[in-house]
Structure formats: structure tokens, C-alpha cells
Amino acid sequence: MEGTEDLVKDVKELYKKEFENARLEYNEKQNRNDRKIENYFDHISRNNKTDLACEIIIELGDINYWSDKDYEFKNKMVQVFKEQINDLKMVVPAFKIANATIHLDESSPHLHIIGVPVKDGNKNGMIKQVGKTTIFTKESLANIQDKMRIKCINSFNKIYSLNSVLKDKEQGRNYDINIKDMKHYSDLKKEFNRNKNQLKFVTDQTKLLEESSKEIKCFLEELGINKKINGYVITSHEQKRIITFIDDVINNNSNIKKLNKLSTNLYKIETDIKDLNNNVNIKNNQIKNLSNDLDKYQKENTYLKNNNYKLENTIDDFKCKWDKFINHFKQKLLSLDNKYNKVYNELLKEEIIDEEDKYYIENEYDEENKYDIKI
């Protein structure tokens, strides 16, 4: 639907479109060549902490719903998914789509979207950068999912002229894509399509052979015993052997059909297992990252506590010295030395002495000692 068969090429083109001007602008400001970025795609792919792209999978209905639906019915989902792509662009404008592919020939129709979350207006580094953690937070993902679910069922009901209702929301699966995951994507896709075509060819040939075998069997069963055909006489024994052979062919064809179904089911199971393994790996990495973050935050917390303790001591020390200064200054003002009055006025003007200190200086001593302090 969007992009080409070459996923890596599509993502590279997106990087060039979205980040090239920002990269050039950033490089112009660098005095040192080693700080310049020659290729932002390569720059991100070398960064183990940043993912090149994200994958969003949109699916409506499960295998049970779609199991009895024909291809014509499934094909209407193409229009639903087209609207979903446009809706996603409106709901998350910062998520730029590089590739969108619809799969109608699997257990249920679904849409794979590969894209890059782009954060604009950065103060450090390039002004535009990959911004997954900013664009996709726990809260924003939940909000995006809620909005897209509503838009998806509305599109589905409109295009299919139905009034279906969604099941309760389940936890989604979020995937991040690294360069190593994208490297052989096109080759694997081509290989899968080749195997799928070969399997279809074998299935069609098996069906034709089965039909031919049944026709020949019917012909032999209707053929009279010891009847001469083109100068050849078929005996009862020979007829039984041929019919037995045809029965074996029919049974083998039946087994091949079952094997084809088994291969399809095994592929689905293998795909599900891969998805589960991917989820486990993702969760393990998330746990590892959270553990690392926790260690980092604990160290930062200890550091901040120590700094806070030092800061409190510094503030207490400063307060003590300030009180001494104020008391000393009062004494000098009470001595009616005009030069201190001048300094006092300057301190008030610069707001170095606040209202509380001012009240303390001008009133407390005035009441206790009955001095008239002239400012």
C-alpha cells in the first residue's frame, strides 16, 4: 500500500526526507569534523539505545471470525486498512510511515505499518531526531489505541454495512525494529512467496490427479471382465490390481492434502511461536533496561541526597552568617554613621535586603533603644 518490497530502502528514504536538512544544519554549527553526522540512518543504526523504526500491526477480528469468510469478503478489508493509515497519520502526525503492507492470505487480514517517530524542535543535537520515547509513552500508546479502535470499527461497519461491536481491549504488542531485523526482510518475504506458490501448485496438481484417478476407477469398474480392448484382454486379477493402485493414488492424494493443511498450520504455529519469542525477548530487554534504569536512578538518588545534605548545611551556614551581618549592620546604623545609611539605601534599592530584614532593622531597635533611625 505504501513503500516498496525493499523495507530497508523505504526506511532509508524516510530518514533522508525527514532528517537530511536537520543533519546539514547541525553539521554547519560544528567546528570539529568528528562531531559531524555523515549519515543519520547509519548513525542511529550504530546506537544500541535507539531503534531505527517501530512496527504497528492493525488487525480486526481473530482466526475464528475469519475462518469461514471467502476472499471477496476479506478483500474489503483493504479499504478499511487504507482508512486506518490515513487515521493513524491524523492521530499521530509525528509518526512518519515508511512502509505499509496488507496480508489477506493468513489466518486473519492484518496490516503491518513500519514507521519512524520524529521529534522536532530539539535544543540539543539535531533539531529533528528519532523520538520514540517522547512520541510513544505508556499514556500516549493507550490513547492512540483507544482512538484507532473506534476509527477502525467505524470504517469496518461503514464498508461492510454492518453494526459490529468491538470486544474489550487487550494489551497490544509493540515492536521496535533494529537494523539487524530489517537486513534480510525482503529475501525472507520473497522466499515465503516462492514456497507459498509451490505449495499452491502441488495442491492444484493433487486435486487434478485425484479427479482423474476417480474417473479411471469408475471406467474400470464398469468395464466387463475378459473384454477385449484394442486387442488386449483385461482379466479380473489385472482389473483388481489396477483399481487397487488407483485407490492407493487417491489415498496418497488425500494424505498430501492433509500434509498441505498441516504445513499451513505448522507455519501458523511457527509464526505464533516466533511472535511469542519476540515478545519474551522484548519483555526481557524491557526488564533489563528497567533494572539498569533503576540502578542508575538509585545512584542518582544517593548522589542527590548527598548534595541535598551539603546544600542544607551550606544554607544553614549562610543563614547564620547573614544573621550576623544583619545584627552587625544594625549596630552600625545605630551609631548614626551616615555612610552606613547610604549603603543601607543601596542594599534596599537592589533588593538585597528584603522586607523582613528591613522591618527587623528599622523597628526592633527603634522600639528597644528608642533611636530614630533616619534612612
**How is the chain split into domains, by residue range?**
7-183, 313-369
- What is the pLDDT at residue 169? 67
d(CA 225, CA 223): 7
Query: Cα–chain-centroid distance for residue 13?
Result: 19
For residue 337 the three cell numbers come to 554613621
- What is the pLDDT at residue 269? 61
| Alpha helix stretches (DSSP H) within 63-137 | 63-66, 71-75, 77-91, 132-135
Backbone angles phi, psi at 31, to 5 degrees: -85, -25
Specify the long-range contacts of residues 81-87, CB closer than 8 Å, at least 24 apart. Answer: 81/1, 81/109, 81/111, 82/1, 83/151, 83/155, 84/58, 84/111, 84/148, 84/151, 84/152, 84/155, 85/1, 85/2, 85/111, 85/113, 87/147, 87/148, 87/151, 87/152, 87/155
Please give the model's pTM, rounded to 2 decimal places.
0.50
Neighbours of 124 (CB within 10 A): 6
d(CA 104, CA 74): 7
- Angular region, 230: left φ>0, alpha ψ -120 to 50, beta rest: left
Query: Cα–chain-centroid distance for residue 294?
Result: 23
d(CA 341, CA 339): 5
d(CA 81, CA 155): 9
- What is the pLDDT at residue 81? 96
Which residue, 114, 249, 125, 247, is CA-closest to 186?
114
Which residue, 193, 154, 139, is CA-closest to 5?
193
Backbone angles phi, psi at 71, to 5 degrees: -65, -35
- What is the pLDDT at residue 192? 60
pLDDT tens string for the chain (375 positions)?
A: 789 988 889 999 999 999 999 999 999 999 989 889 999 999 998 888 888 999 999 999 888 889 889 999 999 999 999 999 999 999 999 999 999 999 988 788 999 999 999 999 999 999 999 999 999 998 999 999 999 999 999 999 999 998 888 776 665 555 555 555 555 555 555 656 666 666 666 666 667 767 766 776 676 666 655 555 555 566 677 667 777 777 777 776 666 666 566 556 555 666 666 666 666 677 777 777 777 777 777 777 788 878 887 888 888 888 888 888 888 877 777 776 677 777 878 888 888 887 777 777 776 444 444 334 333
Residues 305/144, Cβ–Cβ less than 8 Å: no
- What is the pLDDT at residue 371? 39
d(CA 347, CA 322): 14
d(CA 209, CA 134): 60
